[in-house]
Amino acid sequence: MRALSGRPTSTPPPAPSDLAGTARDRPIELDVDDVDDGDAGAERATTPVRAGRVRDPVAIDANGGPKLVSRNELLTPAAYAQLLPTCVDRAHWIPGYRTRVIFSEADAAPWPLLDISRVCVLELDVAMLFSRFSKPPNWLFPKPEPVPDDSDWDAALLDEGNVSAVYSSTPWGVLAKPVTPISFERDSPPFQALSRKLEELQTKHRQAAWESTHSFPISEDLRHAVKYFAILYAERRQRRSRFGAAWKSFLKFVLLSIVAGHCDLDILLGPVFLHFPRPGERSKWYPGLHCTPRPANLFQALRDVDRQDPWRNQYRHAIENHPGSQLPRLEGKFIPQE
């Protein structure tokens, strides 16, 4: 096992009042047929998660649906101790399992130290994963820039001919480039179902992931003047909303894997995962901004910005530069040591 810089310090179990509104007192709901984002607005049948086998969180039952598992029953200390050891001792996993743990900043980075120290697996729920622990803020995507003056970028490149040509070339195909997980193995039994769900999610929402980091302005005047842009603006928003909903549903399976002792929050730092910018992170693309000389067309502007900002394609052209690839503790972290 790999030793880290210092042993984390456990804190007393959280008081009941600390757990109000957390997952301890309510089950996760798994959609019976997962998420069909084409029916995003439709009412969907869900199955509440009741008592079951926590250590097999995403197994398929006899009816072909997700096996019902308990969220509010962690592994017993004895069962947790019997799990196969991994490259990094579970005592150093983030966050603590049954109790809150105070980590050193070096061992917690890039997670915000205060956030990690104020939660344990017992308290995690999907909403918390989605809003606070999908990834550290400004870790993958930088902070927004001030809105530039019109003279600093080339709004003229955003006409129907240029934009439709770029969209016809499906530039989001770069996000389909295969990436090998660094913290786990896809064919390892604990991660087979999770890997399949991830592949389904990212295949279906690849365009939305690309648009989330190449969100060029479509002004209200442009939407009124050109029907193509009114449609594109509406469809782009819908794709982003569906991607967010599907990501949140996928996090249910991540949480169940964390509860089962297969992984911790660090799994989400791996470059195999496609993320999207949150409030306070950069998503806008102003074609021609910071480009010298100015691009001749939108294709050139796209090449320029992707070269300047490799985070926009989530480092798919040089995955070794992804911040997760440069985090030593991720290497094989969740691979069982026989």
Q: pLDDT tens digits, residue range 22-48?
A: 333 333 333 323 333 333 333 333 333
Residue recorded with tokens 């929050």: 265
Q: Is the same domain home to 297 and 187? A: yes
Q: Would you call 9 helix, strand, or coil by DSSP?
A: strand
Q: Is the same domain home to 213 and 325? A: yes
Residue type, 121: V
In a domain, 51, yes or no: yes
Q: Is the same domain home to 31 and 83? A: yes
Q: Is the same domain home to 182 and 223? A: yes
Segments forming the whole domain that contains residue 63:
9-132
- Residues 6 or more apart in contact with residue 242 via CB below 8 angstroms: 37, 40, 205, 208
Q: What is the pTM of this model?
A: 0.81
In a domain, 337, yes or no: no
Q: Is the same domain home to 99 and 181? A: no
Q: Is the same domain home to 316 and 218? A: yes
Q: Is the same domain home to 307 and 203? A: yes
How far apart CA 105 and CA 243 sit, in angstroms, is: 32
In a domain, 4, yes or no: no
**Between 40 and 297, residue with greater pLDDT:** 297
Q: Which residues is 179 bridged to in the sheet? A: none
pLDDT for residue 2 is more than 60? no
Q: Which residues is 104 bridged to in the sheet? A: none
CB burial readout 261-287, b (16+ within 10 A) else e:
bbbbbbbbbbbbbbbbbbeebbbebbb
Q: Is the same domain home to 116 and 217? A: no
Q: Is the same domain home to 120 and 159? A: no
pLDDT category at 291 given cuts 50, 70, 90 is confident
Q: Is the same domain home to 219 and 117? A: no
Q: Is the same domain home to 95 and 238? A: no
CB count, 10 Å around CB of 95? 25
Give me the percent of the chain exceeding a pLDDT of 90.
75
pLDDT category at 107 given cuts 50, 70, 90 is very high
In a domain, 1, yes or no: no
List, for residues 40-90, the tens digit of each pLDDT value: 333 333 333 333 333 333 344 444 434 434 445 799 999 999 999 998 999
Which of residues 99, 132, 165 is at a domain's end? 132
Mean pLDDT of the residues in the chain = 84
The domain total for the chain is: 2
